[in-house]
Structure 1
Amino acid sequence: MSEAVTPLHFADVSKSFARGKERVQALDHLEITLQAGSITGLLGPDGAGKTTLMRLAAGLLLPDSGTVRVLGADTRSQASTIQKHIGYMPQRFGLYEELSVQENLDLFADLQGLSREAVRSRQQELLKLTALGPFGARPSGALSGGMKQKLGLACALLRAPQLLLLDEPTVGVDPIARRELWEIIQGLREKGLTVLMSTAYFDEAERCDEIILLHQGKLLKKNTPAAFSAPLQGRCFLVSQQTASKRHLRETLQARPGIQDARILANGVRVLCRTTTQPETRAGENWQAVAPAFEDAFVDLLGAATSTSDSPVTSNTVAAEPAQPTSPVPPKAKSIAETVIEVHDLCKFFGHFEAVKGNSFSVQKGQIFGLLGANGAGKSTTFRMLCGLLPASSGTLRVAGVDMRHASAQARARIGYVSQKFSLYGNLSCDQNLAFFSSAYGLRGAARRQRLDWARREFQLQDYRDVNVDELPLGIKQRLALACALLHEPPILFLDEPTSGVDPLARREFWKRVNALAEAGVTVMITTHFMDEAEYCDNLVLMSLGEVLAQGSPEQVRAQARSEEHPDPSMEDAFILLIEHHESQIRRSS
């Protein structure tokens, strides 16, 4: 196929799917064209049609109407030919975890009809590109999340494709691995490869040559990142206030007339106004005009602030009522700091491997506490010990006053838990999952009916009651998982990467709920790879190779990374700088 032809062209493309007795329109008369040698970002809320677009472009689906042409060829008649000239990495790339890195590369070469001998030099080139060369004999199941994504990318590049399709390649990986993946992708563009990638990260969208924004299967806008944000000039401000917490300031600003969006940053709350007229300011507030960014345009175009989910709710309120928690979750006591999670010299061994190395920290009632770290740092192991799902090897571990090493069942009754992969039953409907978890938590009779009604209403699940979980968009799965975890009104909530892969609007909705829960006195512990979310936490722990590197407020953690070269580091800067410094010290001493 000629390199001069258009890499990808959708002409009046529509695609629908059956969902129960209904049909869902995934793409609706879509018209798009990619420029050769460019990186194009694909963004949109859950259900916008991003993955459907990717699968149509890969020739794995055929359109109901319209034409998809890839490198000049029609997918209806030339799908097998097209697939020889493209690389496709789906959201959950199917590595064989019992096979080594090299064996996975060999297997994918076989599946693509490539001779192992002929492709050997290409494999060595890709192992060098992805820095996986030293790990060729390691089982892929033993790789970190970032290394798995890089191996998936290497497998997608075996054919040396002209068009590379990446469906959220950086989902679930830490900032260091995300940076490494982006360096690889940008290097591929410099070699003339055309890349289409979907992403939930706004900073990644800003690095793209063009952005395609989808909504409900339709093309909302296609342009450069700068062209998206330019119309918002004069509508963006950074607001700070010395006497209020950023979380409280954000909630106050979001509720104010004239403000469309408010989000927490390191140095204040970023505000997007509905017009160029600045809303009323209050005593003590400092308003500073700032340049618009793509994230502002995303929110503006999709109208996030006008959604029905805009009013935050807690586990004890209904949307139409003020947030007035009832027993057993009392309002947050501002004057008395009550420790509800206490960790001292916590260790965990798996055989001779020490995954958690004598860590200590504490969490106060009503706090949002972040547990951060690179893939493989020991976060999930620590998290599972705190939840009573994994026994500690040594140390003190108390949750809700209960020693988790000896009486974890007592504490688990007071805990709500949302796991990394959402522990929902995919072959059960939304209602059936709610019913199962309510029974598992011991809810009966009128109390059970009341909580089930509350969950459907508060998390807007009415339209999905009879839909199986496997068929739900990721954002709806997240809502359902959180609803299930809150059915028994727990005073402590554990959230293990709950926003991984979830679209930006669903993440905003999620954090409104979490902030409201914390204000109502619920203690929240969360792991996340989104460094902007770390700014919502009251306190943080940053882990690397099983050890705690830094802890304190977001401001205190960022301060530990400050230097002449980085006088004002962001949380992502602090994460990368502190972890890379620690890991280099470990390598020098070993």
Structure 2
Amino acid sequence: MMQAAATVIARDLRKVFPAPGGGQVEAVGGISLRVGEGRLTALVGPDGAGKTTFLRMLAGLLPADGGQLQVLGFDVARQPQQVQDRISYMPQRFGLYEDLSVQENLDLYADLHGVPMDERRARFERLLQMTDLAAFKARPAGKLSGGMKQKLGLACTLVRSPQLLLLDEPSVGVDPLSRRELWKIIQQLVQEEHLSVLVSTAYMDEAERCEHIFVLHQGQLLAEGDPASLAAKARGLTWSVVPPAHMQARDLQAQLIDDSAHVLDAVPRAGAVRFILQPGASPADIAAALHGVAPVERPAELEDAFMMLLRAQETQAPLPVAAVAATKLAGDDAPVIVVRDLVRRFGDFTAVASTTFDVHRGEIFGLLGPNGAGKTTTFRMLCGLLPASSGHLEVAGLNLRTARAQARARIGYVSQKFALYANLTVRENLEFFGGAYGLGGAQLRQRVADSISRFDLQAQARSGELPAGYKQRLAMAVGLLHAPEILFLDEPTSGIDPLARRAFWRTITGLAQQGVTIIVTTHFMEEAEYCDRIAIQDAGELLALGTPQQVREQAGGEGIDMNAAFIGIVEKGRAQRSAGAAGRAA
């Protein structure tokens, strides 16, 4: 059988970087692979796998330290300009000019790439139509939602017609609706323009859309193949179980994932717990953890095989549960967060419109919504970082209008971008934030030492040089240092691979069991399954509020997952708003 033409050929490719404590780290360690022409190909792997380094080497932005690399038939080391003239590369932080309009950004990138004037009109029209940005040509990029910014970034990357498109985690921080639209554009490019696309992603459902997948780990190629052949590696080991009536899915998942001798992985999904048995184990081996409920064998998926491959390489213990001040008392049902008719306006724009809900002690409460829905504004008001325009907001028994500083002393906060000081070491970050929380002396030294030990951190490593998963650990350690009663998590797993997400949520489950109240925003809809209750917002309005099961029922589907429920609820809300607006206009 004749081998298909290749856009990328790597032979024993190597790249090393200086290690933070001296020595070297091999980011890409002797990789050999071929990327087929005219197809959609994925790079997947945990943090530090080498995905971004590999893409930057393909783009001619990083020189190799060994091996050979050909892109579109050119030797990247000797002919980098010929490669760069024929490819387009969208890094994780694509450089939009936020003060320029959508059209002005397109014009600027067309100028930078030397796109002839006679080609621009047709190209721009097609890109604006594909991205649904035609109605927003005059809007400044800084005023677009996160999903719209990503689509504009992709359009700017494509102002010229490349032969190869490189995308580095293009949907990180993007809601499910925007992710779906982004991938529709990418697949359309492959089908209609026969474009070769190589994309790195932390989402296994995105990788399943690709024809071929490369699995990387610590600079090594672990496996490759199409989604079906990779999923087959987990065949016969994948099961699903519905928790007994008295038990939450996340608690059953925690028990299963702790039994590493028999269970390789477990995750809540659509009211059940999906788990993977260790090779050689059977459901009978975990009968006690299943509480008498019989599991059902299910078809293996790509994520199952991915988790198997990673677990075979490393045994990442769950993050330990830090000591906390909160204690969940029997019968203690008084809400610790009370929100009544909460409104926030920015000039004439209403970001949050008359929102009402309660959150109880020890509850995990999810605040979900598309980019630009108002959830970040709500979140910032709950944290005391932004005053409400009107309404009543109470946190830990304190009115945020009159006692914001006192309330903030009783909460922990982990932001989406991990508000750490990059030039400070792990220890220095902990000491600085501990002091800001009012800790000092022997108590601060003890808390810092405990955090470094519990979260398996290197005290002298600079936080800016840590892999994303360890930055997340440090951010969690900082947020928990003063033993808060309430922990706010703003998209804490954005861009984090499934292995790190499992460990993170195992920690959160343990904190909730101790009585810590957790408020979390996330774009990973599978994480909504860990929540006791969730609220879905869009355009500042509350569209749904209830348990994951109640929200799935509201979406009208039996057995649907939270991703489908979220999309269904948001689309229905938007249709109703459009119909209402049309009625008022008539």
For normalisation by structure 1, the TM-score amounts to 0.94
288, 296, 302: which one aligns with 1:288: 296
Q: 2:416 aligned with 1:420, yes or no?
A: yes
- Once residues 464 and 151 of structure 2 are traced to their aligned partners in structure 1, the CA distance between those partners, rounded to angstroms, is 27
Judge conservation of contact 1:261–1:305 (CA < 8 Å) in 2. Answer: no
Matched residue, 1:19: 19
Go from structure 1 to structure 2 and tell me whether the alpha carbon gap of 1:305 and 1:34 turns closer, same or farther (over 3 Å shift).
Answer: closer
Q: 2:257 aligned with 1:250, yes or no?
A: no
483, 495, 498: which one aligns with 2:492: 498
Judge conservation of contact 1:264–1:270 (CA < 8 Å) in 2. Answer: yes
Go from structure 1 to structure 2 and tell me whether the alpha carbon gap of 1:9 and 1:306 turns closer, same or farther (over 3 Å shift).
Answer: closer
- Secondary structure of the 1:114 match is coil
Matched residue, 2:360: 364
Q: 2:539 aligned with 1:542, yes or no?
A: no
- Secondary structure of the 1:377 match is coil
Q: 2:515 aligned with 1:521, yes or no?
A: yes
List 4+ stretches of structure 1 deviating above 6 A.
none
Letter of the 1:19 partner, please give it. A
1:574 deviates by: 1.2
Matched residue, 1:55: 56
- Secondary structure of the 2:202 match is coil
- Once residues 536 and 300 of structure 1 are traced to their aligned partners in structure 2, the CA distance between those partners, rounded to angstroms, is 22
Matched residue, 1:402: 398
Q: How does 1:36-51 map onto structure 2 within 5 Å? A: 36-51=37-52
Judge conservation of contact 2:270–2:560 (CA < 8 Å) in 1. Answer: no
Unaligned residue ranges in structure 2 (runs of 5+): 582-586
Matched residue, 2:502: 508
Matched residue, 1:186: 187
- Secondary structure of the 1:502 match is coil
Matched residue, 1:384: 380
- Secondary structure of the 2:564 match is helix
- Once residues 126 and 347 of structure 1 are traced to their aligned partners in structure 2, the CA distance between those partners, rounded to angstroms, is 37
- Once residues 291 and 422 of structure 1 are traced to their aligned partners in structure 2, the CA distance between those partners, rounded to angstroms, is 37
Q: 2:318 aligned with 1:314, yes or no?
A: no
- Once residues 75 and 180 of structure 1 are traced to their aligned partners in structure 2, the CA distance between those partners, rounded to angstroms, is 33
Matched residue, 2:462: 468
What per-residue deviation string (whole Å, max 9, x for no partner) do you get for residues 237-257 of structure 1? 101223311121112222334
Judge conservation of contact 1:5–1:72 (CA < 8 Å) in 2. Answer: no
Q: 2:102 aligned with 1:101, yes or no?
A: yes
Judge conservation of contact 1:338–1:365 (CA < 8 Å) in 2. Answer: yes
Letter of the 1:480 partner, please give it. L
228, 233, 236: which one aligns with 1:231: 233
Q: What RMSD over aligned residues (CA atoms) do the two structures have, in Å?
A: 1.5
- Secondary structure of the 1:7 match is strand
Matched residue, 1:73: 74
442, 465, 468: which one aligns with 1:446: 442
281, 298, 320: which one aligns with 2:306: 298
Letter of the 2:418 partner, please give it. F
- Once residues 305 and 419 of structure 1 are traced to their aligned partners in structure 2, the CA distance between those partners, rounded to angstroms, is 30
- Once residues 243 and 404 of structure 1 are traced to their aligned partners in structure 2, the CA distance between those partners, rounded to angstroms, is 36
Matched residue, 1:319: none
Q: Which moved more, 1:387-396 or 1:76-85?
A: 76-85
- Once residues 410 and 128 of structure 1 are traced to their aligned partners in structure 2, the CA distance between those partners, rounded to angstroms, is 50
What per-residue deviation string (whole Å, max 9, x for no partner) do you get for residues 46-97 of structure 1? 1110000000011111100111111000111211111111111000111011
- Once residues 98 and 369 of structure 1 are traced to their aligned partners in structure 2, the CA distance between those partners, rounded to angstroms, is 36
What per-residue deviation string (whole Å, max 9, x for no partner) do you get for residues 499-539 of structure 1? 01112111111101111110111000000000000000000
For normalisation by structure 2, the TM-score amounts to 0.95
What per-residue deviation string (whole Å, max 9, x for no partner) do you get for residues 433-477 of structure 1? 112111111111111111111111111112xx3332222211111
1:498 deviates by: 0.5
Alignment: residue pair count: 570
- Once residues 178 and 469 of structure 1 are traced to their aligned partners in structure 2, the CA distance between those partners, rounded to angstroms, is 30
Judge conservation of contact 1:422–1:478 (CA < 8 Å) in 2. Answer: yes
What per-residue deviation string (whole Å, max 9, x for no partner) do you get for residues 6-33 of structure 1? 2111111100111332211100011011
1:308 deviates by: 4.5
- Once residues 121 and 465 of structure 2 are traced to their aligned partners in structure 1, the CA distance between those partners, rounded to angstroms, is 40
- Once residues 321 and 370 of structure 2 are traced to their aligned partners in structure 1, the CA distance between those partners, rounded to angstroms, is 31
Matched residue, 1:272: 276
Letter of the 2:517 partner, please give it. T
Q: Which moved more, 1:553-562 or 1:105-114?
A: 105-114
